[in-house]
Structures are given as C-alpha cells and as structure tokens.
Amino acid sequence: MKKLNSQRKCMPEMDKIANTILSAKRRRFLSSRPVFERYVPVSEAELFRLATGLNFKFALGLSKWLLLAGYGDIDGTLSFREEWFSVIDAEPLDGHVSFAQDVVGNRYAFNPKDGSIYYIRHPEQAVARISDDFPSFLQELIRRDYRLKEWMDSIAVAKLTRLK
C-alpha cells in the first residue's frame, strides 16, 4: 500500500480533476443529473489486492481517481468496475492493463511502464494511443464535455492481428 500512498501525495491535480467530474451536472429539461454516478466506493486495501492479484502497478492518477470517485460511470458511457481490470496477454498490448469499458464494449487500457492510455475498439479489435497519462485522459474528457463516443469516433485506430 506504500506505492498507493505515495501516488496519492504526488497527484494534487487529481483532486481538482475528480472534483470537476464529481460536481458536474448534466442538464435535462426540468432537472439535472450528476455526470458521475457512483456504483460502489473503493478502499486502498481493495486496490492493493487488485493490483497484487493481477500483478500490475496502477497508472499514475488512476488509483487516486478510484479512491476519490469509487467504481461508477461517467455520463452513463464510461464504466469503471473491478471486473474490467485485466492484464492483456497479446501483442502489441502485452502487459497493458484494461481498466474501463464503454457502453458498446470498447475497452480502455494503460501501459504500466509509462502510464499512457489506449483505446481498444470492439469488435474489430483496433487500437489507438489516446493519452499520455490518466489525468490527461480525464482532462480531455472534461474538455470534450464528457462526449466519449464522439471523441473515440474521431480517433484513427490501427487493426490488431490478435487480442484477447
């Protein structure tokens, strides 16, 4: 848990990013709803168990986000759940960690070596590097008013030969 503690201390901008998302509202005709809907809170012990069980190191900012927000959905389109976490064992993303899924089954993964974020389009198994790190990924999502589908539709992807 030492690594999670040090990551939390070095990520003050994640507090601001998380606050922006957690306080955001999506307007409706006569009401509004929160942009982020929490499914369940997450503890440091649960994240430690997850990381050690799958043998990976969290991308910078991701564990802080999960501790602040918990598992849940951003704008009903991007889902963070424990069950979405898996280590990919196929080239070219061998060793990357899947951490989220969108409403149509596309996955989002990070490279544990440098923290970069990847989009894996389903079912054609195409991939694109979409951000240098997790905080930048969330900042871009905020900048785009949480319109994940439009953002991903604008990304050029490369076909993969094999991916589980």
Domain ranges for the chain:
2-159
pTM of the entire predicted model: 0.87
Residue 128's pLDDT is: 93
Residue 122's pLDDT is: 84
What's the whole-number average pLDDT of the chain? 89
The lowest-confidence range among 1-10, 12-21, 32-41, 78-87 is: 1-10
At 11, the pLDDT band (50, 70, 90 cuts) reads low
Q: Which residue would you say has higher pLDDT here, 103 or 159?
A: 103
Tell me the one-letter amino acid at 80: F
Residue 10's pLDDT is: 45
Q: What is the mean pLDDT of residues 137-161?
A: 91
Question: What ranges make up the beta strands (E) of the chain?
Answer: 25-27, 32-34, 36-40, 71-74, 78-80, 86-87, 97-102, 107-110, 117-121, 126-131, 158-159
Is the pLDDT assigned to residue 9 strictly greater than 50? no
Q: Out of 3.30.750.24, 3.40.50.1100, 3.40.1580.10, 3.40.50.720, which CATH number does the structure's domain 2-159 have? A: 3.40.1580.10
